[in-house]
A and B are shown apart, each in its own frame.
Chain A
């Protein structure tokens, strides 16, 4: 193997005409060896010894050198291969320039979104048809609904972070406000979900403004710290205000979703009875799926619409340069507050959906890790890109769900192996890879909003190229 590395890399000769840096095998070996050594050093305390308590609770340390050595070897090989591949000249990168999409391309793209919506609408029915009511429950509930909740939360936070550029680490607070609003209003006053939903949104928006006012002057890291604290304050209030919120125990027996007043129950007056079909619990799940789908699409539609209106423009301009905004006469106070309030409102909607779906809320669902996950979705999605956020939510949340299914790994790694515990490790690894390959998110380019003059330019191009 060592011999091999000294010979020139295949392919290097054929492309030698290009002034690409030649592959330096010695330097690559050195670099790979260094990486391997670092891995060995870092892995030493973690991998080289297995520690666990024995029956008398004393610490048992078992050497596990093979693990550390394997890790070092893998890193060494990976680094070396990476350098080898990286040394090959790649096609020159296109300059980062704004490309005006041709009309046909835009047409396909626009319809892609509709195809996606159509696929989502069909999803639960297809699933039930293919897998039956029992088999499809997991897919509709754990994947469909769960992912859509996070898509919606991601889109909501995207208004604040992606568009307006206000780093909010406490977004889960609004999710909590929405969830508790529904939980309390429905259990105390018996209000229905469809009345509570807008109320929860309004309350969350109100709390968004309350957060917005004191942080108007803050930016960047200071803003992040205050919003982080705000999220924790809300959670701690929920824990300690036991008279209202029942503390850690949470609020249970929240009325479940009804089909606009018609309950999903077996027998007389239920949804199935009304439509003359056989009762099955999955009907409620499917209904919930459509509710969250509609809510998420609403979030998206509002965001897309607002992006074209002056207020959306002002958000983006604010993200770019606050002083310039002020010098152009933009009311930065209102602009920030609307971003906070709107983002919070969608968080509130999602929260109230969460409560009606679970029929139970407790402060445990609203920890910082939720905020971090939602923020990760926005950042990985590319800060401001709607499709990017949806993709990131699908990967992160769907990926977590998938991990739960990897039972076969137990056969390899033993019964004690729980893949879900490695979720954060995988997240972290994924983020590191993202930073290397797509540092600006999955969808990094910001598409400029459409306007009249551009259309003219496009049609001009098409005439020239003979497409018209």
Chain B
């Protein structure tokens, strides 16, 4: 019998971060259409291993479309998406999810009639429940609230708890890259802070790479290593979180304007 090397939660970033790192996720010239409407008009973007990268932009800019396109639905019409050197542009959605990429889609989308526990099971379905018990413990350590509510139906959780569940469910597949779409949507500031703290911790302690789509630009940019600003299906600005926070355009459009 071969010894299975434990994929311990504290996974180290792959070597090759220094020098010229090849990005973990690399998007080039990506275009996505809804019928005739062009939602993404040629996106270039990189996410390096171990980073938190945020994408900010107004409502309808195309942020969710980009996140879903990475997951293959809708499909990109032009351009390429490369994950760890492999072209995944045309891969079926369920196979993309097998590549240790997990996604928490916009609006949380937990299963309302299933219990918290069953929701978490669904998150682990993809790797065949191989280390389910341990991952469940980990999810409950990250979000103790979920442990108390394990037998409650997802639909009866509060908004913040549902978001925790959505993230915990995505983590159950042991992803190395986590895509989060507006986790702060409709949540009280205190809960937003909790959730962002969790994201930071996961990144710091486990080396989880995070791609965070947000409208809450201030918190997102403070948290992120790097950020991109999207306007009408195009990336207009990019830089480190600090840089973007100090840019007058960003301040005017996303920080002081009311968001």
A interface residue numbers (CB < 8 A to B) = 96-98, 100, 310, 313-314, 316-317, 320-321, 323-332, 446, 448-449, 451-454, 457
Contacts and interface: CB of A to CB of B under 8 A. Distances in A.
Interface in B108-123: 109-115, 117-118, 121-123
Contact of B98 (A314, A329, A448, A451): A329
B121 to A, nearest CB: 7
Contact of B150 (A314, A323, A327, A453): A453
Interface residues of B, number: 39
A314 B122 CA distance: 7
B153 A321 contact: no
Interface string B123-147: 1011011000100100000000000
B151 interface: yes
Given A310-B125, A327-B104, A328-B123, A446 B94 contact: no
Contacts of B170: 327-328
Contacts of B95: 329
> A324, A331, A451 — which one has the most chain B CB atoms within 10 A of its CB?
A324
Given A320-B112, A451-B117, A327 B105 contact: yes
A310 B122 CA distance: 8
B90 to A, nearest CB: 16
Interface of B: 71, 73, 92-98, 102-105, 109-115, 117-118, 121-123, 125-126, 128-129, 133, 136, 150-153, 156, 169-170, 173
B94 A326 contact: yes
Nearest to B172: A328
Contact of B93 (A313, A326, A449): A326
A320 B111 contact: yes
Contacts of A316: 111, 113-114
A310 B115 CA distance: 15
Contacts of A446: 113
A253 B200 CA distance: 75
Given A313-B125, A448-B151, A326 B115 contact: no
Contact of A321 (B73, B96, B109): B109
Nearest to B95: A329
Contact of B173 (A328, A453, A454, A457): A328
Given A448-B151, A454-B151, A328 B122 contact: yes
B159 to A, nearest CB: 16
A449 B125 contact: no
Nearest to B96: A329
A98 B110 contact: no
B201 to A, nearest CB: 23
> B111, B126, B153 — which one has the most chain A CB atoms within 10 A of its CB?
B111
A281 B123 CA distance: 56
Given A320-B113, A324-B109, A329-B96, 13 more contacts: A97-B152, A313-B121, A316-B114, A320-B112, A323-B105, A323-B109, A327-B103, A327-B109, A328-B122, A328-B170, A329-B93, A330-B94, A448-B118
